[in-house]
Amino acid sequence: MSAAVIDGRAAAARLRARVAAEARGAGIVPGLTVVIVGDDPASRVYVRNKTKAAATAGFRETTIALPAETSEPALLQVIARLNADDAVDGILVQLPLPKHIRTQAVIEALDPAKDVDGLHPLNAGHLAGGHPRLVPCTPKGVMTLLAEAGVALAGARAVVLGRSTLVGRPVAALLTGADATVTLAHSRTRDLAAECRRAEVLVVAVGRAELVRGDWIAEGATVIDVGINRRADGRLVGDVAFAEAAERAAWITPVPGGVGPMTIASLLENTLIAAKARRGFA
């Protein structure tokens, strides 16, 4: 079998256009504020891409760039001000934060209604309880891609490789909510290859270049590769050996051009959801 490639760029463009049209139709200009601390070059690129996408969708976007030596109390003050600012619908704190700031303290300081990254414990709890509100952007993008590919999830055997709070755990919760039978695998899992081979739907988020080989994939499986790894030669690769896996899968996402673009589109979707909820839309 040679897999059909799920085009994340095209899916993300459709989603961004749909969100922009929905906001216009509702007469809403959602406000997104991104907070970045320090000058990590990769984080700066991510922030620029997010705010550019927000502006293109017609959202009001603001970036607050703080120096690396910003103290935790000073950052918490900024968050408190944004929480109280009626013009701000969504707050995204770009991670990672400098080591002297406790990430969890910052996440917990966010107004859950403005937490468009879906990381606040209240939003994580709603998701774990099966009543998602604001859902982390990358997992949400994974689910959109599965829907785009028309993958039937009810009753399917799904394996999620990686259990981070940012990706693996929320993906597992969303797949459970879609009635898949979910195995959450990680670095202590015995015989990872055998677990993966049982998957009709395999979502991989580990951050190890091409860890998942072709013979780990069941014939006809759907493979979603969340990983982004830069090889020594500068090439970006996923956590799945793409060419090998595509020989056996029915559907597969590429890296780049798969899950990555969906993350930003999902952020816009979350910001619109937050903006509508704050304005009392159903």
* 77 part of the active site: no
Shortest distance (Å) from residue 280 CB to ligand NAP: 31
In the chain, the N- to C-terminal Cα span, in Å, equals: 44
Shortest distance (Å) from residue 171 CB to ligand NAP: 9
DSSP bridge pairs for 203 = 160, 224
Shortest distance (Å) from residue 240 CB to ligand NAP: 11
Count the Cβ atoms, other than its own, within 10 Å of residue 47: 18
Shortest distance (Å) from residue 263 CB to ligand NAP: 4
Decide whether 83 or 164 has the Cβ nearer to ligand NAP: 164
| Catalytic residue from among 117, 140, 225, 239 | 117
* 114 part of the active site: no
For residue 173, give the 3-state DSSP assignment.
helix
Sheet holding 90-93, edge to edge: 60-66, 31-37, 90-93
Decide whether 204 or 272 has the Cβ nearer to ligand NAP: 204
Residues in the chain: 282
Tell me the H-state helices in the chain. Answer: 8-26, 41-56, 72-84, 103-109, 121-128, 137-148, 168-177, 192-197, 242-246, 259-278
* 94 part of the active site: yes
Decide whether 140 or 278 has the Cβ nearer to ligand NAP: 140
Residues lying near ligand NAP in the complex (CB under 6 A) are found at 138, 161-164, 166-168, 186-188, 192, 205-208, 211, 226-229, 259-260, 263
Active-site residues, by number, are 50, 94, 117
